[in-house]
Structure 1
Amino acid sequence: MGDCVSPVDDFLNELTERGIRLELRGDQLVYYPRRKLTADLRQRLVQLKPEILNRLRGVHEAREVPSQTTPITEPPRIEHPPVSVVISDPQPKFLESLLINVLSQRPAPAEILITGKTNRSIRKIVNRFRSRGVHIANSSLDVQHNSVCLISPDTQLGPDWLPQAVQKLNTPEVGAVYSDHELIQTEERTDYPGHVTANDLARSGIQAPTILVRREALVAVHHQGEPLNVLLRQLSRSGWELRKHSGIVYVQSDRKESYFQQQSLDQESITLFIPLSGRKHLWPKLQHFLQQQTWPHHQTRLILCDTSRDKSFSNRIRSWFSTCDYPDVRNIRLPSKQAGLADLPRDQQLIAVNEQMCRIYNLLRAELKTDYVWILEDDIIPPVDVLSRLLHSFEENVASVSAPYRSRFDGRYLVWSRERSGNAGVHQLCRPLPDRPQVEEIRGSGFGCLVMRAEVLKQRPFCLPEGETCYDVRFFRELEPHWKRLVDWTTACQHLHNVPQPKSNITTRNLIYHITPFATNDIWLRNVQQLLKRIDLFNGRRVIAVATGEGLITPDQVQAAFGNHQIEIITRPNSAQLRENATFLPLLESVADPDPHTATFYAHAKGVGKDVCCLGPPRGSRYWRNAMYHELLDDWSRINELLIDSAIVGTHRRQHNENHQIYPDGQSTSPWHFAGTFFWFRNTDVFSSEKWRDVWQPTGWGAEAWPGRMFDFEQSACVAYDGLEDLYNPAVYFPQIEDE
């Protein structure tokens, strides 16, 4: 006779679908949440209560014997192999309901093992179900059957979940079967692909709260207490296929977890790869770091790539292997073509060094067996907890997270926002202000200390085609654009060989500033208040241009707003067409001295025309304006460092080579600009010729276009919000600085 689905099974399955839990309390059945039990379900519960109680107590319901004279048509009998169910770390509030749910599957499981943490309440529940094959066990491997269902304690199986999963597992190459799941509270449902690879799992994972797995596959990779998503990844790495079936699992709680938690990255085994150049004086500090770094050493596959030609150094490394506490270590010899190559003048050996690095990282590609690799150069000393901190910044679409360090050649951070044209290097970044996000998206970084997905590193071999000089710049340039690259500035490293932080020769700082002081609002005054908070930064000339005319307050009132601070005021008639550009040339003329030790800051009272003509929401305009004051005036050392190599520094830089006439007036033109028109420039680069005057345009947006007409894009630097297009969106600004 085939297994017919009884009214009790139908009822229990319907309760599961609706997210209703049953609990046995003596002779009573308790259900919750109460609000989900309809009148019809309540009536059926009363009718079926005796059979449900008998089933929970282990008494099989009597089957009606059909009359011999009544023909019965039954579905063909499907023989299913017995299934063992394992519930790990059960929760008392869910366990009874879960056991009822699992035992309602047809065929019912042959046994149910309870593993992990138990207490008195759990043991009492298990004893009530002992006659149904429920018992406490030490390990998932104590199961008696080959089909093993591993169930999260806060889930419920949908109807026929087990038979559907067993059928899918019949394919010999399939090691485990998973399904979609639905959150009971919100009815949100996943939509996982039909099959997944190891790379898929390393990126996004499958938060499968219940899976069916072959025991022989489980035995080979099992670690007690390991999350199911980690188990699936290990099965896939071992060569087993993972398949989805059409059943559904219902999850009681909405798990709000970070990517680090979802992927159980704290349990990840990581390859730590260190190229060794043979510099003996560096080894003691590196050795000390390896002993002190806090990522579990038993989860670290350590590979040291010895590129030296020094036998005594190599012997020293091998000797350390015998005493270190890393259980998985390898020493690979890859001698460089020239002894001491790493310490030779880089400008003379640039190609040779980068070709050697290509050989090193191609070797690493062949050695990778983990999903993540941590690359550390032998003269970089990071914080001891750097690996955990970098891993916490990963998301599904993140390829790498770097720890910043200063270059050994120019003292600048080896982190960049874009490449310079003509293979002329990169636009290096400076550290963000302390109240800005410390993890930010970048274009690329050096390989001194970074964590990368192995999948990304394996995508293509490292090489140095003709015309290329830097393997790392080329690697990040060729990386597909959907992959994000991040830097965590809180993990800044010590570079044992870097030159001192670069020093600028700028000693004098001028201010030139335009105000259109409308009498109808106080926006101009709010701007002045932002400026006054930083006014002492300017130790050179402070020239304020004030527009005059109908509807504007007087220059004397503007002067009064600056209090006792020393400023110079010049006036020009207000021009609705030229706006701040009406005073731009006179302001430049007031500081026209090519002194190499002088820099000048230009800005204007932004957003003053909000009652007259505002291109965006006032709140967005306010955050944009105050962000420019903050970024360009609150840490002079950052600006000073950028002015060493760049002629002009601003925020909100936008490049638009394809459309020079991007400005609202339809007349101003330039291939790039600083949106908002706040910027610093070196006087020597502006006033050493008459170009500054020649490129000026008598147009409404001529001042904003001027930097892009005066300087090539490669001569500029952007301290924040580089490439931002949604300028008026308040959400893009952090911190969101209000007016005082």
Structure 2
Amino acid sequence: MAKRANPRVSDGDATLDVTRADNAASAFAYGDTMQEVEYGEATRDVEYGEAMVGGTSLRAAQRVGTEQEGQEAAGARWYARPTLPHRVGVVIPTRNRPNWLPHMLGSLMMQTHRPERILVVDNGEDSAEEVVSRYPGVEYLRAEVGSGLSGNPARNVGMQAMADLPYLCFLDDDDMIPPDYLEVLLATIATDCRAAAAYPRLRFCGTQQGTWSVPYHPDLLGRSNLAGVPALIRTDALLQVGGWPVFAADPDGTIPHDDWALWRRFRDHGWRMIPAPVDYFYYRHDDGVCHSKARANHQSEWRRTIDPTNLVTLAIPWSGREHLIDAMLDAVARQSYPASQLHLLFYDNSGSEAVGKRLRRWLLEQDGYAGHSYHRDPRPAVAGLSASELADAPLDEGEQGRRRHGRAVNHRVGAIWNRIGQLARTDLVWCLEDDVIPPPDALDRLLDRMGPMVDGVTANYRSRVVPGCSVAWRYTNLETGDLVHLEGGTGLESIGGTGLGCALVRREVFRAGPARSGGEAVGYDCNLWLDVARRGGTVLIDWDLRCEHRIGHWKGEERVAALELPRGVV
């Protein structure tokens, strides 16, 4: 029998008692294990869990593009220098299914690059110690961590036990790897010292068959997952981001896709990932985590699959409408979306010191938000006129859709949103203009309607320049940028474009932009969404999510844009 490890290891234990199995019983033959699983050769898109990540990720990858060939070519050779010795530790979490372990342990015995350590972390009630004892040199650790919804607590135990090794590879107990698996991953990650992980192609077998292989692009991680757990990871990168994310279940018992969450945290810390030309045989069966009720559907419940950490920035350009500041700040404070998950970005172009002090004071008083920043840009669009006067300038008589100094305002506001798009550090930007007052559930509802293939979602608010219409339109000609404004509707509808008064927009929309204030379409926002439409993007409007558009404060007059549905719309 193997020596018993410390029978109880909790999340808070500082030290871990790990022992190697003494009994060097004959290992499960790799060839025999291969015969137990039928591997399909199909290459069609397959569902990852209940979500079409195969199709979703590939289509999204086509949208955001792959890293350009030859990027940083001049310095590439420096990044390709080996910086770490090829010493690898393998961590295999297992829970209540010891009969599956021979699949993975048998294939590890045949590796061309033998790992320095192999550790099985068992957090189940049905002990796997006897199975582990059959394999020479494999370590067994009993750890009472997690709730069974995810293997990440057990992976973190393994990370702590092997933190002295430069590379860690986290494998599942019910899968298999080819003999050159670790060798290829090591060769791949050695090509770029900036890579936190090298990840394989997933070849599905069992109840579902096919392959999943997605190129790396940082913007793609804001839409969909691109890799499974079994990646080779730099230990220093993993320690920098705090290990594998661990989530509490929501009221329905689901958690975000936690491998996806780790990849996003790598990206947000400046690391990148590299796909490797090697297969990982991912066995699909009814006991697998992807069939668990703890995983929400990636398409229909996208919000519940993505880690909310560093997901949304609320960006407000302040034009100096002092009479609306209190109403807007109150609307922000009343949002039902958790403040602890929301970043605030105030962009002050009012040119007013009083407005600036007011905004900075309010931000300093807020201690519940994930983060906040204040940016001052007092440059006027027109000399001699304040930003608030220009923002609320009345329509020129006889020229529907035009304002006094409209061209100057268009250039200035386009520049502001371009700058905000570069300043934002989250995947999504909730764009809110300082005269559009959202209801308390606005952000929650916008997020509920966001999906992996959606570029933007807007609320419904009435236009100040096109009477009787909402700030939404449909393009009639993508070549010329011709468009028609929409009067209204009900429910959720796909449109061509929208203003940025109350819209949840992917950051990549701005970074793939910019919003051109001079172009085919009539304004910066029309050109921004025109470019998205030309890329095959998707913009949605929730007609039933209505905001109050407070327009006009010229010479003391103020009015609120009507929110009633247009005549004939039910």
Task: Normalising by structure 2, report the TM-score.
Answer: 0.67
- TM-superposed CA distance for 1:100, in Å, is 5.3
Is the CA contact (8 Å cut-off) linking 2:474 and 2:483 kept in structure 1?
Answer: no
For 1:92, the equivalent position in structure 2 comes to 96
Find the aligned partners of 1:502 and 1:300 in 2 and give their Cα distance: 28
- Paired residues for 1:455-494 under 5 Å: 455-465=508-518, 469-479=522-532, 480-494=534-548
- TM-superposed CA distance for 1:198, in Å, is 0.7
1:345 to 394, 398, 410: 394
Matched, 1:404 2:447: no
For 1:329, the equivalent position in structure 2 comes to 372
Q: Greater helix share, 1 or 2?
A: 1
Is the CA contact (8 Å cut-off) linking 2:458 and 2:504 kept in structure 1?
Answer: yes
Is the CA contact (8 Å cut-off) linking 2:89 and 2:115 kept in structure 1?
Answer: no
For 1:230, the equivalent position in structure 2 comes to 261
Amino acid paired to 2:89: S
1:413 to 470, 473, 482: 470
Find the aligned partners of 1:282 and 1:154 in 2 and give their Cα distance: 59
For 1:288, the equivalent position in structure 2 comes to 330
For 1:360, the equivalent position in structure 2 comes to 416
Q: 1:149 to 1:401 in 2, by over 3 A?
A: same
For 1:134, the equivalent position in structure 2 comes to 140
Match of 2:206, SS state, is coil
1:258 to 298, 311, 322: 298
Find the aligned partners of 1:420 and 1:164 in 2 and give their Cα distance: 49
- TM-superposed CA distance for 1:126, in Å, is 5.1
Q: 1:307 to 1:13 in 2, by over 3 A?
A: same
Is the CA contact (8 Å cut-off) linking 1:164 and 1:247 kept in structure 2?
Answer: no
1:267-302 deviation per Cα after TM superposition (whole angstroms, max 9, x unaligned):
452222111122222222222232232334343331
For 1:168, the equivalent position in structure 2 comes to 188
2:230 to 210, 215, 221: 210
Find the aligned partners of 2:304 and 2:560 in 1 and give their Cα distance: 41
- TM-superposed CA distance for 1:390, in Å, is 2.4
Find the aligned partners of 1:98 and 1:109 in 2 and give their Cα distance: 19
Is the CA contact (8 Å cut-off) linking 1:306 and 1:314 kept in structure 2?
Answer: yes
Is the CA contact (8 Å cut-off) linking 1:102 and 1:157 kept in structure 2?
Answer: no
1:360-409 deviation per Cα after TM superposition (whole angstroms, max 9, x unaligned):
11211331322222211122232434334323433443221112212245
Find the aligned partners of 2:370 and 2:92 in 1 and give their Cα distance: 32
Q: 1:414 to 1:345 in 2, by over 3 A?
A: same
1:66-95 deviation per Cα after TM superposition (whole angstroms, max 9, x unaligned):
xxxxxxxxxxxxxx944323346x5423x5
1:530-583 deviation per Cα after TM superposition (whole angstroms, max 9, x unaligned):
xxxxxxxxxxxxxxxxxxxxxxxxxxxxxxxxxxxxxxxxxxxxxxxxxxxxxx
Indicate the RMSD between aligned Cα atoms, in angstroms: 3.4
Find the aligned partners of 1:134 and 1:218 in 2 and give their Cα distance: 22
Is the CA contact (8 Å cut-off) linking 2:515 and 2:525 kept in structure 1?
Answer: no
Matched, 1:125 2:109: no
Is the CA contact (8 Å cut-off) linking 1:411 and 1:499 kept in structure 2?
Answer: no
Match of 1:398, SS state, is coil
Amino acid paired to 1:258: H
- TM-superposed CA distance for 1:162, in Å, is 3.3
Is the CA contact (8 Å cut-off) linking 2:550 and 2:561 kept in structure 1?
Answer: no
Q: 1:251 to 1:377 in 2, by over 3 A?
A: farther
- TM-superposed CA distance for 1:97, in Å, is 1.4
Is the CA contact (8 Å cut-off) linking 1:16 and 1:250 kept in structure 2?
Answer: no
Find the aligned partners of 2:261 and 2:458 in 1 and give their Cα distance: 25
1:673-732 deviation per Cα after TM superposition (whole angstroms, max 9, x unaligned):
xxxxxxxxxxxxxxxxxxxxxxxxxxxxxxxxxxxxxxxxxxxxxx9xxxxxxxxxxxxx
Amino acid paired to 1:12: T
- TM-superposed CA distance for 1:316, in Å, is 1.1
Q: 1:83 to 1:15 in 2, by over 3 A?
A: farther
Gaps of 5+ in 1: 20-79, 433-437, 504-636, 642-718, 720-740
Q: 1:452 to 1:500 in 2, by over 3 A?
A: closer
Matched, 1:394 2:461: no
Match of 2:128, SS state, is helix
Gaps of 5+ in 2: 1-25, 41-84, 144-153, 247-257, 396-402, 552-558
Find the aligned partners of 1:467 and 1:82 in 2 and give their Cα distance: 57
Amino acid paired to 2:359: I
Find the aligned partners of 2:487 and 2:175 in 1 and give their Cα distance: 48
- TM-superposed CA distance for 1:420, in Å, is 9.2
Find the aligned partners of 1:149 and 1:477 in 2 and give their Cα distance: 44
Is the CA contact (8 Å cut-off) linking 2:475 and 2:481 kept in structure 1?
Answer: no
Match of 2:362, SS state, is helix
For 1:454, the equivalent position in structure 2 comes to 507
- Paired residues for 1:565-644 under 5 Å: 638-640=566-568
Amino acid paired to 1:134: Y
